[in-house]
Amino acid sequence: MSIFIREKRRTNKDGSTVTYLRPVENRRVGDKVRRRVLCTLGRPDDSTLPRRLKALAELILSRAGRYREVEVTCG
């Protein structure tokens, strides 16, 4: 299982684009990979985003306690 952040872009009626950040879980089911959006974190320009990202990271690390290794990558 892996979790990554996906950007979801939406275009408004006036033509402006809004971006939302969503953590997505990858999980193998049989021979296929299934993705599941865990929640919507909000817009990258939101001032409360760092606090919510920190809370999400703490939740992931607390649940990953039974695993020996947690890999963090960016990009």
For residue 51, tell me if it sits in a domain.
yes
Q: pLDDT at position 8, please?
A: 94
For residue 72, tell me if it sits in a domain.
no
Q: pLDDT at position 18, please?
A: 94
Instruction: Please report, in tens digits, the pLDDT of each residue of the chain (75 residues total).
Output: 778 889 999 999 999 999 999 989 888 899 999 999 988 888 988 888 888 888 877 877 777 766 555 566 655
pTM for the full model?
0.64
Split into its structural domains, the chain has a count of 1
For residue 75, tell me if it sits in a domain.
no
Query: Which SS3 state, helix, strand or coil, does residue 55 take?
Result: helix
Look up residue 36 and give its two tokens: 């599941």
Domain boundaries, position 57: 2-66
Q: Is the dihedral of CA 9, 20, 44, 12 positive or negative?
A: positive
